[in-house]
């Protein structure tokens, strides 16, 4: 009998708030977390806005002596994992520790630490480089530190697949549980890449919105006036669990994860393929593996970056995947409110998608004032919508043409 995988805990840290409830409430109200950058002097930058996490206190989650050992992306991952574990009420003991793993992705990792320590090297020489530099910055230490914190001794892994990283982490965690290599996984992603080099680098790619005078209106997926994405930060971590394991301990079940698709465009280092082929195949694979008909999918949390190419090509991919049913789908881009968490986006948005399925409510796409004629589907503009959701997809696509799609279904015993 095939092992079923369910979501029993959700932990979110975003520009809308620190915690799952406050983030979800902000999404349903259509709030924007985008504002002018406060982390460093933005003089001379073309893009001067971002979706920063406000008021984060690492002491609420981490002992003071350990904070200096962790880049902010690791701190966010620990916070989101704590929220998810508290929500799930999953207890890790010596008896079950080897059956519970951690899989947390990031697109960039410790960018803040890398920039800081590079400056220390240039200004003071090698002796000024922190001994904690390497373990603070490398991507797998988010998963490593989370496993240490909770005593999870099962599979411990990290993905670095650009903006698909945490969606891949969740998809691969789903496969790990299905094949019996773990009974539960603490899985998702984290990113803290609002830094001078990041803002400068993405700016030089002309990928960022420069609507600096209207920060809250700058992220506008599927709108004809969109001019680029907004860098966001934060984390999204889910507790994925084998169904019987969850049932035996009386866990709350938000949704069942039933499908995972991944693909490559094999086309361009930053641009999606012009026919939307890779995205379409990832979605189709998730639906096929989920064993449902395309018309059973009611909602898609789109990748929806607010860049000219992504939005129209994702729209095309959805049409090619779902045919006539595409026009009946509710689709929204929550990046319109949270910004784009890069490698953390898939974790945050998978959590949002599971909550949408659980509550039968679709978060909106804000700032969709003038729909692009090439983006002509139902993107749930401005206001959240109560509706039944049987199945929902969460899409994540990344530089290098790497794609992931996760399929969730309303749980039925």
Known catalytic residues are 163, 303, 340
Tokens linked to 159:
């993905």
Which residue from 166, 164, 128 is spatially nearest to 146, judged by alpha carbons? Answer: 166
d(CA 281, CA 267): 14
Cβ–Cβ < 8 Å for 81, 186: yes
Cα 317 to the chain's mean position, in Å?
20
What is the three-class DSSP state of 137?
A: helix
Phi, psi of 107 (to 5 degrees): -80, -35
For residue 239, list its beta bridge partners: 9, 186
Q: How many C-beta atoms lie closer than 10 Å to residue 371's C-beta? A: 15
For residue 261, list its beta bridge partners: 405
- DSSP secondary structure, 197-237, as one string: HHHHHHHHTT-B---TT-GGGT--TTBTT---B-BB-EEEE
Cα 169 to the chain's mean position, in Å?
10
For residue 297, list its beta bridge partners: 391
Burial class (CB in 10 A: 0-12, 13-18, 19+), 201: middle
d(CA 133, CA 333): 35
């Amino acid at each position: 009998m095939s092992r079923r995988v369910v979501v029993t805990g959700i932990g979110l840290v975003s520009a809308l708030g620190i915690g799952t409830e406050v983030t979800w409430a902000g999404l349903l109200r259509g709030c924007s977390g985008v504002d002018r950058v406060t982390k460093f002097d933005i003089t001379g930058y073309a893009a001067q806005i971002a979706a920063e996490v406000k008021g984060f206190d690492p002491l609420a989650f981490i002992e003071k002596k350990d904070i200096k050992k962790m880049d902010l992306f690791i701190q966010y991952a620990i916070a989101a994992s704590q929220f998810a574990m508290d929500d799930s009420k999953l207890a890790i003991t010596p008896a079950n520790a080897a059956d519970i793993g951690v899989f947390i992705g990031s697109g960039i990792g410790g960018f803040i630490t890398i920039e800081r320590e590079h400056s220390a090297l240039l200004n003071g020489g090698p002796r000024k480089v922190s001994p904690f530099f390497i373990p603070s910055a490398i991507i797998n230490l988010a998963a490593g530190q989370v496993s240490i914190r909770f005593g999870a001794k099962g599979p411990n892994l990290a993905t670095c697949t650009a903006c698909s990283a945490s969606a891949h982490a969740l998809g691969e965690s789903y496969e790990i549980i299905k094949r019996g290599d773990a009974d539960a996984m603490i899985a998702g992603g984290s990113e803290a890449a609002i830094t001078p080099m990041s803002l400068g680098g993405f700016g030089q790619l002309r990928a960022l919105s420069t609507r600096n005078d209207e920060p809250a209106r700058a992220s506008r997926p599927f709108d004809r006036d969109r001019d680029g994405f907004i860098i966001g930060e934060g984390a999204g971590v889910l507790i994925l669990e084998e169904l019987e394991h969850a049932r035996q301990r009386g866990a709350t079940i938000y949704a069942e994860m039933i499908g995972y698709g991944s693909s490559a465009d094999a086309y361009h280092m930053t641009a999606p393929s012009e026919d939307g082929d890779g995205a379409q195949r990832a979605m189709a694979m998730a639906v096929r593996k989920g064993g449902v008909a395309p018309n059973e999918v009611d909602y898609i949390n789109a990748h929806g970056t607010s860049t000219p190419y992504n939005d129209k090509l994702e729209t095309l991919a959805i049409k090619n995947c779902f045919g006539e049913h595409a026009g009946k789908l509710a689709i929204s881009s929550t990046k319109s409110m949270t910004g784009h968490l890069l490698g953390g986006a898939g974790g945050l948005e998978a959590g949002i998608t599971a909550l949408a399925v659980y509550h039968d409510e679709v978060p909106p796409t804000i700032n969709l004032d003038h729909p692009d004629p090439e983006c002509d589907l139902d993107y749930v503009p401005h206001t959240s919508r109560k509706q039944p959701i049987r199945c929902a997809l969460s899409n994540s696509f990344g530089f290098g043409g790497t794609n992931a799609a996760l399929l969730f279904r309303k749980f039925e015993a």
